[in-house]
Amino acid sequence: MRRFMNILLAFTIAVCFSVAALAAEHPGEHPGTPAKTEHKEHPGTIHEAEHPGEGAEHPGEKAMLSAEDIIRGIKEHINSVTKANAGYFLISDPSEGKDLRLKLIKVHEDKVSFIKKEDAYFACTDFVTADGKTKYDLDFWMKEKAGKLNVYQTKIHKKDGNPRFTYKDDEMVPVESESNEHKEHPGQMAPEEHT
C-alpha cells in the first residue's frame, strides 16, 4: 500500500509540473511583465498588482498601462502606417536586404507587456506578405508621451515561424542557426527606428 501511495504521489507531482510547463507557452519569447488586463467579472476595472513591483505602489509613481491601452496604441500605429501606404505596413528586412509590404493578421493580445527597465511597452503581431505566401511576426516597442503611445522600435522576430532572436532577462539574444544567412551575417538585428 505504501508503495502504491508513493507511485501515486510521484505521478501527481509529474502531472503538476507538466501542466506548469505547458502553461508557459514559450518562455523567453517576449520581454517584460504581462500587462494588466480588464477584470472579466467587472468590466471597466483593472486587476490590481498581485506582487510588489507591479503597477504603482506609492503616490507619484507612474502606473502601468492596461493591456487594452497597449493593444489600442499598437493598432492605432499600424492603422496609421497602413493608411499612409495604400493599405500596407512597410518595413525593411535587414537580414534579407529587402523592403516588405505586409498586411496585419492579428495583434497577440495575450503578448503585450511592460518592460520596466526601459519604461516601455511591448506588443507582438502577425503579418503576411502582400502575396500571402510569407508570414512575419513583428515586435514593437512603445513609450508613452503626452498620453499617447509612440512606437520607437520595430523588429522582425520571426519569418514563417523561424525566430531570429529570443529574449533573456528582457534582452534580445540571437538564435543560433545553421543557415548560411546567419553564418554570413551573424547578429544582424538592426532595429527599425521610428521618430
pLDDT given for residue 187 in this prediction: 43
Average pLDDT on 134-151 reads 94
pLDDT given for residue 40 in this prediction: 41
Predicted confidence (pLDDT) at residue 15 exceeds the cutoff of 50: no
pLDDT given for residue 101 in this prediction: 97
User: Residue 68: which region, alpha, beta or left (left: phi > 0; alpha: psi -120 to 50)?
Assistant: alpha
Burial 37-63 (b: 16+ CB within 10 A, else e): eeeeeeeeebeeeeeeebbeeeeeeee
The residue with greater pLDDT, 53 or 117, is: 117
Q: pLDDT tens digit string along 97-109?
A: 999 999 999 999 9
User: Residue 25: which region, alpha, beta or left (left: phi > 0; alpha: psi -120 to 50)?
Assistant: alpha
Average pLDDT on 175-179 reads 66
Q: How confident is the model at residue 13 (pLDDT cuts 50, 70, 90)?
A: low
- The percentage of the chain sitting over the pLDDT mark of 90, rounded to a whole number, equals 49
- The percentage of the chain sitting over the pLDDT mark of 70, rounded to a whole number, equals 60
Number of helices (H), then strands (E), belonging to the chain: the values are 3, 11
Q: How confident is the model at residue 169 (pLDDT cuts 50, 70, 90)?
A: confident
Report the 10 Å Cβ neighbour count for 181: 12
Q: How confident is the model at residue 61 (pLDDT cuts 50, 70, 90)?
A: low
